[in-house]
Amino acid sequence: MSRSNYRTFFLFIAFTIAAAVLWFLFRYNNTYEEYVEVAIEWNNVPVDVELSDSARNIKVPIKIKSSGFRLLWLHYEDMKVPLDFKAIVKTNNGNLVFNPELARTAIDRALGDGIDILEVEANPITMAYQQFASKELPLEKDFKINFEGSFKEYGASSFDVKQVKITGNDELIKELKVLKVKIDDFTVGDSLVAKTINLNALYPDLKIDPAEVTYTVRAAEMTEGSFKIPVTVNNRPVDGTVKVIPDMVTVIFISKLVDYDSIDKTDFKVTVDIDDLENDEATVVPVLTYDNEKINTARVQPQFVQILVIQ
């Protein structure tokens, strides 16, 4: 083949390719309408509901309008739309009913820009399912917390939820009054420790919502201090002398180490009330009060004092 023939051949090939590209661009740049199916992915399904295979794999026919390029791309990707089960699915006489029209906004959002939804399957779909026994139970801590060094619990440690919803075997559900959370004991050596616990791992035969809970322990480096405080007598008799033995008691308090210097003896008051004595009773428990939020706990030693009323 001569050089001129080669040139003619390659020009023909280039022209054919250019024509094909122009035809492709012209054809697929136009706007088309087409019926497609979108698969529904259910989120937030109640733990006591077990959907059938058909209910889990619902596909909704829709009519859309878009460019040929966009429609061509849709044929090569799975169109999945995540939906909130509790928000979309309705209950009607014990049946679960899904109305695709209610999901129109979510479907539109999932398809993205450049696609207009013209129609959505209007017929409600009744979903097959099984429902298991369920009830809500309080959580009960079944583990110990140890504190490192001078760290002690500061405030109340607790779960982030007060109760959970459990689902499973009817007899087992009936027997349970609380859900015990049993994990290995652990040691706290910081001001804040949050322990995440997988309840489904502890109870594999149950479905639990929420499946994970967090137990939070607040701690602080604590120290102990003490003061000698006089016992104040309230409602002294006008015609007698009152003697308290001992008339000074020791108040022992616990506070954060950083707050120790902000506490003094004027924060405490120890009192006994003559009106609280019954008959010839001579021994009473002194009442300790304090007005300083930096004090964590406090107690009196000795726990009892004697009251002598001399007429």
Q: How confident is the model at residue 23 (pLDDT cuts 50, 70, 90)?
A: very low
Phi, psi of 57 (to 5 degrees): -120, 50
Which pLDDT score, from 0 to 100, does residue 277 have?
Answer: 77
Query: Do 238 and 203 share a structural domain?
Result: no
Res. 218 pLDDT band, cuts 50 70 90: very high
DSSP state of 27: H
C-alpha Rg value of the chain to the nearest Å: 38
DSSP three-state, residue 271: strand
Query: Does the pLDDT of residue 67 top 70, yes or no?
Result: no
Q: What is the CATH number of the domain that holds 50?
A: 2.170.120
Instruction: Label residue 222 exposed, middle or buried (CB < 10 Å: 0-12, 13-18, 19+).
Output: buried
Residues 242 and 256 in one domain: yes
* Tokens encoding 35: 């019926």
The total number of structural domains in the chain stands at 3
Rounded Cα distance, 285 and 300, in Å: 9
Q: What mean pLDDT do residues 201-219 have?
A: 93
Which tokens sit at 87?
């928000």
Residue 157, pLDDT > 50, answer yes
Is residue 14 pLDDT above 50, yes or no? Answer: yes
Whether 24 maps to a domain, the answer reads: no
Residues 55 and 79 in one domain: yes
Domain annotation covers residue 8: no
- Whether residues 125 and 137 share a domain: the answer is no
| Residue 200 maps to a domain | yes
Specify whether 207 is located in the same domain as 146.
Answer: yes
Q: What is the CATH number of the domain that holds 274?
A: 2.170.120.30
Is residue 27 domain-resident? no
Residues 138, 217, single domain; the answer is yes
Over pLDDT 70: what percentage of the chain?
84
Decide if 274 is inside a domain: yes
Question: Please, is 274 exposed, middle or buried when counting C-beta atoms within 10 Å of its C-beta (0-12, 13-18, 19+)?
Answer: middle
Structural domain ending residue among the three candidates 194, 221, 248: 221
Res. 102 pLDDT band, cuts 50 70 90:
confident
pTM over 0.85: no
Does residue 87 belong to any structural domain of this protein?
yes
- What CATH number has the domain bearing residue 179? 2.170.120.40
176 secondary structure, DSSP code: -
What pLDDT is stored for residue 33 in this prediction? 74
> Is residue 211 classed as helix, strand or coil in its secondary structure?
coil
Select from 98, 130, 162 the last residue of a domain.
130
| pLDDT at 188 > cutoff 70 | yes
pLDDT given at position 213: 97
Q: What is the mean pLDDT of the chain?
A: 84
User: Which DSSP letter does residue 185 get?
Assistant: -
Identify the weakest region by mean pLDDT among 62-76, 236-250, 292-306.
62-76
| pLDDT tens digits, one per residue of 225-256 | 999 999 999 988 877 788 899 999 999 999 99
User: Do 233 and 214 fall into the same domain?
Assistant: no
Confidence of residue 63 (pLDDT cuts 50, 70, 90): confident
Whether 299 maps to a domain, the answer reads yes
Residue 275 lies in a domain: yes
- Same domain? 266 vs 306: yes
pLDDT value of position 17: 63
Instruction: Looking at the structure, tell me whether residues 254 and 286 fall in a common domain.
Output: yes
| Same domain membership, residue 201 and residue 276 | no
3-class SS shares of the chain: helix, strand, coil, % to 5: 25, 50, 30
Instruction: State whether 113 and 41 are in the same domain.
Output: yes
Q: Same domain for 116 and 165?
A: no
The tokens describing 13, both together, are 């090939």
Q: In terms of Cα–Cα distance, which of 311, 298, 305 is closest to 271?
A: 305
Residue 25 pLDDT level (bands cut at 50, 70, 90)? very low
Q: What is the pLDDT of residue 10?
A: 58
Q: Which tops the pLDDT comparison, 111 or 193?
A: 193
Quick one: CA dihedral 91, 92, 93, 94, positive or negative? negative
CB 110 within 8 A of CB 79: yes
Which of 193, 221, 249 finishes a domain? 221
3-state secondary structure 66-134: EEHHHHHHHCCCCCEEEEEHHHHCEEECCEEEECHHHHHHHHHHHHCCCCEEEEECCCCEEECEEECEE
Domain span at residue 304? 224-310
pLDDT tens-place string over residues 281-290: 688 899 999 9
- 251's CB contacts (< 8 A; 6+ apart) are 226, 227, 228, 229, 265, 268, 270, 288, 298, 299, 300
Residue 3 has pLDDT above 70, yes or no: no
pLDDT above 80: residue 113: no
